[in-house]
Chain A
Amino acid sequence: MPEIRAEGLRKQYGKVTALNGVDLTIKDGEYLTIVGPSGCGKTTLIKSIAGIIQPDAGEIKINGGLVTPLPIEDRGVGYVFQEIALFPHMNVYDNVSYGLMVKGVSPPERMGPVEEMLHMMNLEGYVSLYPRELSGGARQKTAISRALTSGSTLLLLDEPLGALDLKVRTVLRYELRKLVKDLGLTAIHVTHDQEEALSVSDRIVIMKGGKIIEVGPPLQLYLRPKEIFTAKFLGEANFMTGEITEAKDTGISIDVNGSKLNAILSGEVTLKKGEVRVIAIRPEFLDLSPKPRKGNSWACDIVGASFVGDSMRYEVHAENGVTLLIKTPIAGVESSFKAGDKAFVTLPEENLILYELPEEGLEKTLSLE
């Protein structure tokens, strides 16, 4: 049950800075995911921890011991990546027992741990099948089993479900989390799928441009992201800017393009009249109704309505020219709207998140590159 510490990691590829000073501690027994747009450095980070990539600067410690100079085989890590790499000429059983074989464990002694692992992964029915005879999901489960049978307690997962169809991916991610917890492993999992990250992690790391933007538990990052980019990247969010017209202990009023918005803030209010703020709100917290509601209710035109199964997605143009995305669960819908309808959108005052206007400009902060 190792603790991993990365300090001051830097990596440069020509003109591209893949890691620009990364500090991160992964706690013993933690399931940590790393997310971020393409090119954010997440793959370079996990490969540096694994020992596949040598950082230009910085240190990596596993349980306090410096491992930066060590190759992957000496770091005691199990590494699973997106391109499933099983030995094609070996069946599932032999693939899974490979690690123990290399360590010189005799066939009878290998049986116990291998069978236990196959049982945990529900692979008992597949032992004599060859990789080409397996579905994508079963192949990746075999790869994970192989990575773990050699006894590593640190599992590094580099887009482990990325090559699989969405449906299989959703089922496997829950199994993966359960496995890591049942075995008491420490796991670092890189993914581009934010729902995957939210559902399996103890903590999530958000990266952009070779830097860590924010680290925290899923619920906190989703509901109270400290950084604008977190709100943008993890889940969906609407963004607008407004000027504070009134600031009291109980809350503040903001003018957004001529429409008024009241917000309740947690903690001490240090905002002053005249300051400009970025306001973020998740689409599922917005309400759509035929008549204005109490609170922040703006008239709007519905310009798009699409059915996505468990929810409806609406795009609306509000009275003040702001475009908003609204997501309504079907179960709770009181009347449904279609494109072309006029309605009112309510922005609950307790669900508004305020940010300082970033120095680099809002557009740059929100950009994925």
Chain B
Amino acid sequence: MPFLRLLNVAKRFGAIKALDDVTFEVKDREYLCVLGSTGSGKTTLLRSIAGILKPDEGEVYIDGEKANDIATEERNTVYVPQNYALFPHMTVLENVMFGPLAKEIDKKTAEETAMRVLKLVRLDKRADAYPNELSGGMQQRVALARGLASGAKLLLLDEPLGALDVRLRIELRTELKKLAKESGFTVIHVTHDQEEAMTIGDRLLVLRRGHIQQHGTPYHVYNRPERIFVANFVGNTNFLEAIVESRSKEGSILRLREGLKIRVQDPSFEPGEAVIVAIREENVSITPEPRGDEINRRSGEVTAVYFLGSFTRYVVKLTNGDEIASRTPVKEAKVEINQGDWVSVNFDPGNTHIYEYPTLGLPSELEAS
């Protein structure tokens, strides 16, 4: 039985549909990451589960019980908002102990729990400090610690690592998941950081304009994006406009602008149909090629090179004017390729996704909100 179930949940604010027909389940002890941009409905979703907001339509079930009419405090749920509100007159330790003490847990146990979670968020040494003596990032960590110590079964985290430095965020995210697993929490963690979501989520829920775009394991969402929006929002993807020229058992031949042809594996579209081809940047490889070889029709000029650390990103302008980006692991970049170089572009026909050409055009599909 799922621990949490939402059935056709809808919430409107005036003319805006913040949540529209949202249905999904979360298993007991599952770590679900909700991924979406500003305005996608992520926070409204958490607040509806917490009971801070009442949905206009639909049902929320927590642990088998319909929760729509159950008060927030009775839901065995803790909501850690993005704008953490700590008690200013209490020390860090007292703030974190507040939840357990309110539940009438004895002081010694409450303090032990509090210190354990403070250690996790690396603030055990600041236990006696007051909130106003801490930086924004530290205050956010205290708020997170308070949620973790509360003893609730369902943890609703709104951008819990958002105010932290990247370095600390990467370090804390793994530990957060470990602790959630050890303590048996069921977690819903909202973020706009796709790497964070993929690293720690057992499953992902991609949200856009109040609608679920896709729900599945990180691997599934990344490798089988069901919509153009998901392919764009999760990962780094090239999109090319094309017309299906022919298809066979081996796949399809697509015609890009100016007649440039490419082969893809997906045979699901009819010849003559307009489609969008999605190719992950890391699945595009480039090799140096002497300039002037105009016969190779998948060649182009490097228009920009960006070093990203573990990857280098190259932007190549193909002979038909389309731009395609390639991400090459720094370890594999044996030959130096510079802006202005002429290169040959390759990708595996199996590593592509084909979508029906969107009615409103490609840019509208890529918009986050």
Interface residues of A (CB under 8 A from B): 37-39, 135-136, 165-168, 170, 174, 178, 192-195, 198-200, 218-219, 222-223, 232-236, 282-285, 304, 306-311, 313, 315, 327, 329-332, 368
Contacts and interface: CB of A to CB of B under 8 A. Distances in A.
Contact of A38 (B37, B137, B194, B195): B137
Contact of B38 (A37, A165, A218): A165
B310 A307 contact: no
B307 A219 contact: yes
Contacts of A284: 310, 329-331
B202 to A, nearest CB: 11
B329 A166 contact: no
Contacts, number: 112
B165 interface: yes
A329 B309 contact: no
Contacts of B282: 310, 329-331
Contacts of B280: 310
A200 B313 CA distance: 12
Interface string B182-199: 000000000011110011
A251 B254 CA distance: 53
Nearest to A200: B306
Contacts of B330: 223, 284
B193 A166 contact: yes
Interface stretch (B231-239, B242-250, B256-264, B294-302): B231-239
Given A308-B195, A309-B198, A310-B236, A235 B168 contact: no
A193 B166 CA distance: 7
A166 B236 CA distance: 12
Contacts of A193: 166
A194 B218 contact: no
Interface string B313-354: 100000000000001011110000000000000000000000
Given A307-B219, A329-B329, A222 B307 contact: yes
17 contacts: A38-B137, A166-B192, A167-B37, A192-B166, A199-B306, A219-B307, A234-B309, A283-B310, A304-B174, A306-B198, A307-B218, A309-B218, A310-B235, A310-B311, A311-B310, A331-B285, A368-B165
B31 to A, nearest CB: 11
B235 A39 contact: no
Contacts of B309: 194-195, 198, 222, 234-235
B192 A165 contact: yes
A284 B218 CA distance: 21
Given A199-B313, A284-B310, A284-B330, A309 B194 contact: yes
Given A285-B331, A306-B200, A368-B168, A167 B307 contact: no
Contact of A309 (B235, B306, B313, B331): B235
B233 A167 contact: yes
Nearest to B199: A306
Contacts of A236: 170
B283 interface: yes
Contacts of B285: 331
Given A195-B309, A235-B310, A304-B174, A309 B166 contact: no
B168 A198 contact: no
A332 B235 contact: no
B165 A332 contact: no
Contacts of A135: 367-369
